[in-house]
Amino acid sequence: MTKQHHVRSARRLLAVLGLGVIIAQPASAEEPYKIGAMLDVTGGASFLGKPEQNAVMLAVDEGNQAGGIRGRKIELMFEDTKSTETDTVLAARKLINQSKVLALIGPSRTGGAMAAIPIVNEAEVALLCPVSGIGVVQPIVERKWVFRPGQGGDLSVAKVLDYAKRAGWKKLGILYSADAYGEDGRDNLRKLAPGVGVSLDREESFPANSTDLKSQLAKLKSAGVDAIFMHGLGAPSVIVYKNARELGLATPIISGHGQANSAFRDAVGDAVIGQPIVGAPVLVWNELPNTHPQKKAAEAFVTKYRARYGTAPDMFAGIAYDSANMVLQAIRETNGDPQIRDWLENNVKNHVGITGIFNFTPQDHAGLRSDALVMMIADKDGWRLADYEK
């Protein structure tokens, strides 16, 4: 048990005994509730971090416009993690030790989240990270303070395999980024493909600074795969589609949910038209059937986000917005940290968010199922919902 936890426990004991009431309060009535956001607003993952920052600010502003929490304002303390593990660790320590935040949202990448885990574990501060890797919440005995309110690689790969079966593809290849995100996709494909009768016939990886991927694509073509699953982030994922066009590669390329953002779609242009991609329902909310549980929430969020920022939100903005709102609700119903962690684990049940329907439990800090993702097809205007999803 940490020194910080001892202090919190002593305060709660004094409150129970009716002694030191002022000490027992987390802050004076005039002081705001502080929550922290540490996101990759600059660097290679800025296409994730900036929309996430916008969404968290939107949620906090909405909370303050509604009167705050018990008459106290909500203050967002922000640090840019600059898309590096080192800056993520520095940001986590600053927000916890100097800003004294009640909970943390971020960072934007699996690698950064993994680096932050020892910090939040030691400080006993809840962390909600909008990332893909299952390793941020498993094994849960070592991730007690961490929640992953985003669609994970396990869900994304399951969607890809379902699509492959529908298309009659029996042999897949994978092209993945040599980082925590890409390797998570590879590992999930290795694990899940045999169970649905699909073989993984070729694996190729690429570093984050790649500028040409023709060699990897040629090897995948030579392996005779029916389709290529591309699981990566940033600029190289754009190069994949442009190189495929230059090679005249007819093999379909299925993209993981890391590409379900406007920065990728704008950069890749026509080279991706007709190709399938995994994404969140919020990206195609207007095509969802009226019975879809997220349609109303997604429409409201898109409308508010567009009115404020002049553009539609990406799926990662939806994850950050859900994260912020769950933290705010936890503060409303508790006395703050560390009860926030317990509230999230025990009270988030059938919570309909922008991202999906959340159910956290002591055994599951991911809390989403496959219906938190849909298959989309890239078209000239962005994406459309795959026909079988309608």
Residue with tokens 């935040």: 101
Domains identified in the chain and CATH numbers: 32-151+298-368 (3.40.50.2300), 153-279 (3.40.50.2300)
Amino acid letter at 309? Answer: Y
pLDDT for 29 equals 56
Give pLDDT tens digits along the chain (390 positions). Answer: 444 454 444 433 433 333 333 333 444 457 999 999 999 999 989 999 999 999 999 999 999 999 999 999 999 999 999 999 999 999 999 999 999 999 999 999 999 999 999 999 999 999 999 998 889 999 999 999 999 998 888 899 999 999 999 999 999 999 999 988 899 899 999 999 999 999 999 999 999 889 999 999 999 999 999 999 999 877 888 999 999 999 999 999 999 888 888 888 888 999 999 999 999 999 999 999 899 999 999 999 999 999 999 999 999 999 999 999 999 999 999 978 789 999 999 999 999 999 999 999 999 999 998 889 999 999 988 899 999 988
Q: How many CB atoms lie within 10 A of CB 364?
A: 15
Q: What digits encode the pLDDT tens for the residues 278-288?
A: 999 999 999 99
**pTM value?**
0.86
Annotate 270-320 with three-state secondary structure: HHHCCCEEEECHHHHHHHCCCCCCCHHHHHHHHHHHHHHHCCCCCHHHHHH
Length reported for the chain = 390
CA distances from 52 to 56, 59, 77, 251, 356 (A): 6, 11, 14, 33, 16
The radius of gyration of the chain's CA atoms, rounded to the nearest angstrom, is: 21
